[in-house]
Amino acid sequence: MSRKPIIAGNWKMNLLRGQAKDLFEGIKSFVKDYSAKELPTIVIAPVFTSISAVEAVKCDCGCGGTKISIAGQNCHWENSGAYTGEVSVEMLKDAGCDYVIIGHSERRQYFSETDEMINKKAKAILAGGLIPIICCGETLEQRESGVTDQHIASQIRAALSGISSEDVAKSVIAYEPIWAIGTGKTCDSDEANRVIAMIRNVVKDVAGAEAADSIRILYGGSVKPNTIAEQMSKSDIDGALVGGASLKADSFNEIIANTMKVVVSK
């Protein structure tokens, strides 16, 4: 089994359409020199209003859109209806998305998203033919009181509840310790790897060995060009969900380049 690395840029609530297009062009001009096979899977999550701006320039390099995929930063689990302010999986697919980030700690914290809602979203995303990037992570308080593993395991069990092994295998999980997000405090890479291996064990328990071996589990939280090589060298870290450092083409491209330098078969 080989797991292709993923480098995903979470632009959060940043960049107007023109800025999003410029940044996307900056990433494209770096990736054009490499084949899709050489590159990690690259995923960009702009705000909803900028998806069409980046989608419009996604495929004009002749790669057929295979080098950079687009993700929504959230979705609703229903296809359509009276849910003011929400966007459905079908709509994201229609806009050109292949992935959807769900359960980000900022959504759990500021928008009261529960494990149950995240599970419904994961099911809707998979049913709609897209791939969920399911985020999990502990607060500093939880880490200090020694409940990290227990908390993450319960988030993962809830998120994957009722999903077939086949669908779990194609999903993506991002382990993002909340205290490391946007703080410049990266989690020690051995510790991140330990938690990610623990998550893989939970996946094995709920969906079997094959799914656990196939699912890609990313680390997120202050990933920078100078941290990624060490993170990628670890046995269970399959890539990164990058916030701050994805907002500049130079730093995001360097993260991609440094990922390609680490040749580890996982």
Contact 253, 260 (CB under 8 A): no
- Residue nearer to ligand PGA on the CB measure, 215 or 241: 241
Q: Where are the beta strands (DSSP E) in the chain?
A: 6-10, 41-45, 68-72, 99-102, 131-136, 172-175, 216-220, 239-242
- Residue nearer to ligand PGA on the CB measure, 221 or 239: 221
**For residue 154, what are its two tokens?**
């319960």
* Window 5-44: contact mask with ligand PGA (x via CB under 6 A): -----x----------------------------------
For residue 11, what is the DSSP state? -
182 contacts ligand PGA (rule: CB under 6 A):
yes
- Number of residue whose CB is nearest ligand PGA: 243
- Residue nearer to ligand PGA on the CB measure, 19 or 66: 19
**Whole-angstrom distance, CA of residue 71 vs CA of residue 96:** 8
First to last CA, the chain: 7
Only one of the segments 27-35, 81-89, 115-123, 239-247 lies at the binding site for ligand PGA (rule: CB under 6 A); that segment is 239-247
244 contacts ligand PGA (rule: CB under 6 A):
yes
**For residue 258, what are its two tokens?**
């440094």
For residue 179, what is the DSSP state? G
Helix, strand, coil share (%) of the chain residues, nearest 5? 45, 15, 40
Q: Among 223, 232, 237, 255, which residue sits at the site for ligand PGA (rule: CB under 6 A)?
A: 223
Q: Among 221, 225, 231, 252, which residue sits at the site for ligand PGA (rule: CB under 6 A)?
A: 221
Site residues (vs ligand PGA, CB under 6 A): 10, 176, 181-182, 220-223, 241-245
